[in-house]
Structure 1
Amino acid sequence: MKKASLLFSKVALLGLVVTSLGSFSAIVSADEIGGTDTGAVTQAPTATLPIQLLGINDFHGALSTTGTAYINGTPFRNAGKAALLATYLDQAEETFKETNATGSTIRVQAGDMVGASPANSGLLQDEPTIKVLNRMNFQVGTLGNHEFDEGLAEYNRILTGTAPLPGQFNQITQNYQREATKTDIVIANMTDKETGAIPFDWKPYTTKLISQNGQSVEVGFIGIVTTEIPNLVLKKHYEQYNFLDEAETVAKYSKELRDKGVNAIVVLAHVPATSDKDIAIGDAATLINNVNTIDPENSVDALFAGHNHQFTNGLANNTRIVQSTSQGKAFVNMTGELDPVTKDFVKTPDAVVTPVLANDVNGTPVVPDSAVSQIIEEADNLVTQVTNEKVGTATEAGTMSREVNAANESPVGNLVTDAQRIVANLDGNHVDFAMTNNGGIRADLLVQDDKTITWGAAQNVQPFGNILQIVEMTGAQIESVLNEQYDEDGKYFLQLSGLRYTYTETGDPTVPYKVHQIVKENGEPLDPNGTYRVVINDFLFGGGDGFKTFTGAKLIGAIDSDTDTFINYFKAQEAAGKTISAAVDGRKTYRSQADIAAENEKNALAAIHAATVLTDIKEKDTQHTGKTLPNATISVQVKETVQTRSLNPATAIADANGDFTVDISSLDVEKDQVLVVTVTDQNGYSVPFEKTVLAMDVVTPKPDENGGTPPVTPEKPGKTDEDKPVTTDKTSSKKDGKDFPQTGENVQLIGAIVGAGLLGGGIVLVLRKNRVV
């Protein structure tokens, strides 16, 4: 709708005509309105044309799938099933016609109708889904990223109802009674790199003529696919195409339509959106805002979004943006009025998003559409011999959920990655970790009442059939890829097995979180320089979902597809007599910066306490020795001077083994003084230790043979108990290479000499003589 549309619509009813320049000239003058006949032709007020647009997005072949539809924050559980959706769409159209007898209804889809589909569609190449969409009468649609899953050539084969090549698929698919689509596919922002043309003769837009009572208005539909395709699809399926800017493309074709007189314009865009209090936000809203900047006179009235499976119903300026969650769990019912004079919506259309439930708002059971039910029943019968096969036994009956917690960890995500790691190791691959993109986990794991897990239930969870690669990565690369989850949007994230990590905020809105610490399953820290083997799928190995670090991993080998690996895990557990369970167990944990700082301090102080051993300090000591953390700083000072800093501390740095010697001679330590020995690690964490100065050791000699006590000789200062020699009657000291007797021996020698002197000088003479001889 043009900016001036609302004003012009009212003026037109008074008989004014808009010129191509946006001005207007009067057909009916003021006098003529008063009744003066001048011969001019008056124009009666024109009746508007009611229109209804019923839309879905991200159906994903969900013929029989149910789940929770969150509509404006309210959960509607057990929503979905294609046969019920068909009935709801018909009822919505009938209700519209009751109050708008001449109104027109158009049914549209915003991409991802096929791909990542449950077995009753996926095993049959989604051809049952094409038949179901035909029965529901969808008239216009666009591409999503999953239409690329097996390449656009295969998708085009499915659309055209062409038989596959002999032996291309399993026999039930080869023989399936297929039919061509009745939906016009529009895609404006993708071209072939070689030809510059939109592939497969698809058109950038189409128009639908709304005619009532001789009046008519054309409505234009422009198709847009997300430009993130290179992050979402295997390279071989997108590398031949250019993906053009969404807003520039919409502005271009909106003008082209306006030039053809088409002012009522709807965009079918497989781009994400959400809404808050009737305000649309997300990529779709950004797209519209950019279109308004490029072409302020654009006439885009509504946009059907998709891709992120979120309820959306809000405005971006005057454009209504809607999204119906996913998998047929809800649908969009948009209504408006077309002005046959302006060829535009009278005002921005209104919309509601309605959940698809087994009972209506009055509690009355809703009857499934019989034609759609028949298609699904036929598909079920064809694949039942495969899907009903028991592959495992659950610990409990019920549902194992793929819903993620606040840290983006899910029970089924843990189960899937555990299965990949375990199966890879069973095959002798010696794998450390497994990681998968959360978007590849497509459904809850449904367990039957008798705890049976079937092939079909497992395939619903992992339907893609992506090949699992074994790659070698460094610890630094693993940290990098985990950090790639935490960009500004945070919409792509991983499920993982074999490791755990904590993450914290950064204060940077463009990268709001970062990995803090990574440990292996056994608690051992991840070595940034170490190498590890990781299981990932080929989609991630190509940098899918924006995980570019995976492209630098070293390919070691490959195992089965993700589908087969998941199923084989169940079979192996069943053969071993083990049951299956799934739970969130803290593989991703948020820690605040404050928590991390407190933990770091606690661990640092504990490490200092554990590593530090101090020797005793005694009066007159000039050195203090001990052992602590390597390269820590040790300071020693008298306690009374710690606060006043009246005396500089004595300091030293521990060596690489943690040994240290501090020169404390400047402190002139005295008995009973309290010294503070402070150890500070390399990160600045400190622990003070108090040491009371001890008295010098005093050696008390043993009594002599006559009962006397020898004199006491004080020990030299600076010796510890460990350093000083042990004193006995037989030990001796050495000085300058000469042996001197101990103190007790000197006393005995003097007594002997005195006694000998009493015998007279004769003996002395003899001794002297002998010495001369």
Structure 2
Amino acid sequence: MPRNTRRLRPVVAVAAVALAAAAVANPVANSASAKPGKHLVDIQLLSFNDFHGNLEAPSGSSGRLVTGHQIDPATGKPVDETADVGGVEYLATHLAEARKGHDRSLTVAAGDLVGASPLLSAAFHDEPSVEALNKVGLDVTAVGNHEFDEGYKELQRIDAGGCIDDGDGKDNQNSCAAHEFKGADFDILASNVVEDASGKTILPSYSIKEVDGAKIGFIGMTLEGTPDIVTAEGVKGLTFKDEVETANALVPVLKKKGVKAIVTLIHEGANLPKEKWTDPATGTVHEVNASFDYTCEGGGELIADSPIVPIAEGLDPQIDMVVTGHTHNPYVCDVPDPKGKSRLVTSASSFGRLFTETNLKYDLKKHDIVRSSVKGSNLLVTRDVAKAPEQTELINTYKELVTPIASRVLGSISADVNRVQSPAGENALGDLIADAQLADESTVYNGQAPVIAFMNPGGIRADLTAANSPYGEPVGDVTFDEAFTVQPFNNYLVSLTMTGQDIYDLLTQQVTGANAGSHKILQVSKGFSYEISPSGPVDGSVKLNGEPIDKAASYRVVTNNFLQGGGDAFEAFTKGTDPYYGGLDIDAFANYLEASSPYTPGALDRITGTH
């Protein structure tokens, strides 16, 4: 197969400058639309985010969205009404239909289009997803944190094209398996990501798109906290700059180029509240899972301390709209700019299940967007439309190539092994993964085998469902494809030595510091137990095989390289000594399933208490 590599396109470097931004509190409603006039033209923006390589229609809860609620006659309690949505074959059709009748239309995205992907895309370094997005008609996207999963040089290759000389199937991946990879036809922007050695951004900072006389500038960036949530190796040698300062510094740059209409694409997002739903029969108000259009179209509001809110409030008033992502939530809301003027902030959930359609007026005389005309709405990617044939052809090509790896049966489970948490934060799938890491012999160092394993909950991406049979295998059988969907990062296992005090500090960091607002309870291996409290582990409760951990003693532990580098704000791991890198986490998971079949989930009794 070809192994040629094309030269990377030059990048744009922009220095960030500080700009004090006035904070604006309560969002206000959009004002009336612009007055019609010959100098006003209609522009359509279609946007989505967090695609994560979901070429095929995602299954289970990942392929559904809440559309309404009803009372279950059997229990008298409210239940969700849902729709099956997503899949690039359907997304492409919906976008094509949405563009009809719109002469001026652009399609944009807000990052995490690749990374943490199903095997169909990940097995080929996400090249299939980039090719699919080329066919979808994407014009420009911001970079997200998961675009750094394989390092920024790989991100630059994804942008520019070329092949990796990785042999056939190294680490369950194969570049250019079908043909030479041509790269992205769309612009990938990384305005706040600077290479320390050169002082330049790793990809362009902005993109200017012109549609029939209307020029719109797009500023793209990821969240400043990206180094905290990806592997240290993936962002080595990079600096991630403040989002507001970066975007605001680019406004005068774009204005000098005659661009006053500006949209920010940013991979950071908002958290959403529960929905207050009224039973139409009784008038009783219930707190339920929010429908996809509840926030803010249906009356819901962004949670005030959401990460995107202060960013949106601080962006220069010249910026007309903010397309966001990262939190996988759906919303179309108003967050006023520093002058108190209404400004649309949107996010289209994840996995291609939604897209946002925004319609606006552009003033050809003023070369700017009429802010009061900006109207947006999230639309379901339903599966009741014809599949886009070019996407089906692409999927079939890669399905044939991946089938020998994907369809291999690893073992079986006697019941679903899922991520449903106990009150203490433990879940059955986390137990299984931690046990698999502990059992993996690749991390034995100088004859020392790890005695405790820790797994981050965010790295567990799907449930193992007994009835799921993607290749027609018997009920309960688990294929490599299913296992990879659970752990899609190709992280390496790392063993290291930690003191008992380090372990106490680690468990405390689950509920304090950066994790105080959203607790992250690590999953732990058999033989290790403790009681969690709102302030951390109860002193004296941390035990190994029934014996209390000695804070002065040393213990060999195993985790993945994401956590070992301090990911998810678990800095205690960085104090570990004698790190030793083993094999891939997915291989440990697969080997353990093969050795433990049929696997039956046990009691959730390793972590007790509440947090």
SS of the residue 1:569 aligns to:
helix
Structure 1 residue 136, shift from structure 2 partner = 0.6
Alignment of 1:457-606 (within 5 A): 457-486=482-511, 487-490=515-518, 492-498=520-526, 499-505=528-534, 513-517=535-539, 518-520=541-543, 522-555=545-578, 557-573=580-596, 578-582=597-601, 585-591=604-610
Tell me which of 312, 326, 332 is aligned to 2:350.
Answer: 326
Partner AA of 1:515 in structure 2: P
SS of the residue 1:349 aligns to:
strand
SS of the residue 1:456 aligns to:
helix
Cα separation, 1, equivalents of 2:66 and 2:321: 19
- Percent identity reads 30
Tell me which of 326, 340, 348 is aligned to 1:307.
Answer: 326
- TM, length-normalised to structure 1: 0.62
Cα separation, 1, equivalents of 2:570 and 2:460: 17
Cα separation, 1, equivalents of 2:272 and 2:252: 27
Partner AA of 2:109 in structure 1: Q
Cα separation, 1, equivalents of 2:450 and 2:98: 53
Residue 363 of structure 2: aligned partner: 339
| Residues 345 and 390 of structure 1, relative CA distance in 2, 3 Å threshold | same
Query: How many residues are matched?
Result: 521
Asked if 2 retains the 8 angstrom alpha-carbon contact of 1:172 and 1:382, the reply is: no
Matched, 1:205 2:227: no
SS of the residue 2:85 aligns to:
strand
SS of the residue 2:94 aligns to:
helix
| Residues 547 and 224 of structure 1, relative CA distance in 2, 3 Å threshold | same
Cα separation, 2, equivalents of 1:581 and 1:75: 31
Alignment of 1:750-769 (within 5 A): none
Cα separation, 2, equivalents of 1:450 and 1:331: 34
Partner AA of 1:173 in structure 2: S
Alignment of 1:89-100 (within 5 A): 89-94=95-100, 97=101
Partner AA of 2:97 in structure 1: Q
Unaligned segments of structure 1, at least 5 residues? 14-43, 359-364, 506-512, 593-773
Partner AA of 1:164 in structure 2: I
Residue 60 of structure 1: aligned partner: 52
Cα separation, 1, equivalents of 2:355 and 2:426: 29
Cα separation, 1, equivalents of 2:205 and 2:443: 50
Matched, 1:185 2:188: yes
Cα separation, 1, equivalents of 2:424 and 2:345: 29
Partner AA of 2:119 in structure 1: A
Partner AA of 2:357 in structure 1: N
Residue 376 of structure 2: aligned partner: 351
Deviation per CA, 1:519-550, whole angstroms, max 9, x where unpaired? 33654433323332221111211111221110
Asked if 2 retains the 8 angstrom alpha-carbon contact of 1:425 and 1:431, the reply is: no
- TM, length-normalised to structure 2: 0.78
Unaligned segments of structure 2, at least 5 residues? 1-21, 69-79, 274-294, 337-341
Tell me which of 235, 238, 241 is aligned to 1:238.
Answer: 235
Asked if 1 retains the 8 angstrom alpha-carbon contact of 2:159 and 2:188, the reply is: no
Cα separation, 1, equivalents of 2:33 and 2:350: 41
Residue 129 of structure 1: aligned partner: 129
Residue 452 of structure 1: aligned partner: 477
Residue 290 of structure 2: aligned partner: none
SS of the residue 2:426 aligns to:
coil
Cα separation, 2, equivalents of 1:79 and 1:174: 30
Asked if 2 retains the 8 angstrom alpha-carbon contact of 1:410 and 1:584, the reply is: no
Asked if 1 retains the 8 angstrom alpha-carbon contact of 2:408 and 2:480, the reply is: yes
Residue 3 of structure 2: aligned partner: none
Larger Rg: 1
Structure 1 residue 77, shift from structure 2 partner = 5.9
Deviation per CA, 1:36-95, whole angstroms, max 9, x where unpaired? xxxxxxxx943532222222212121122331545589674643222122222223333x
Tell me which of 415, 418, 421 is aligned to 2:438.
Answer: 421
Deviation per CA, 1:477-499, whole angstroms, max 9, x where unpaired? 11211221223332654222233
SS of the residue 2:372 aligns to:
coil
Structure 1 residue 154, shift from structure 2 partner = 1.8
Partner AA of 2:533 in structure 1: T
Structure 1 residue 446, shift from structure 2 partner = 4.3
Asked if 2 retains the 8 angstrom alpha-carbon contact of 1:301 and 1:348, the reply is: no
Residue 314 of structure 2: aligned partner: 290
| Residues 484 and 426 of structure 1, relative CA distance in 2, 3 Å threshold | closer
Structure 1 residue 174, shift from structure 2 partner = 4.4
Structure 1 residue 179, shift from structure 2 partner = 2.7
Partner AA of 1:332 in structure 2: T
Tell me which of 269, 284, 287 is aligned to 2:266.
Answer: 269
Structure 1 residue 348, shift from structure 2 partner = 5.9
Structure 1 residue 236, shift from structure 2 partner = 3.2
Deviation per CA, 1:83-109, whole angstroms, max 9, x where unpaired? 122222223333xx2xxxx54221111
Cα separation, 1, equivalents of 2:405 and 2:98: 37
Asked if 1 retains the 8 angstrom alpha-carbon contact of 2:48 and 2:352, the reply is: yes
Matched, 1:392 2:417: no
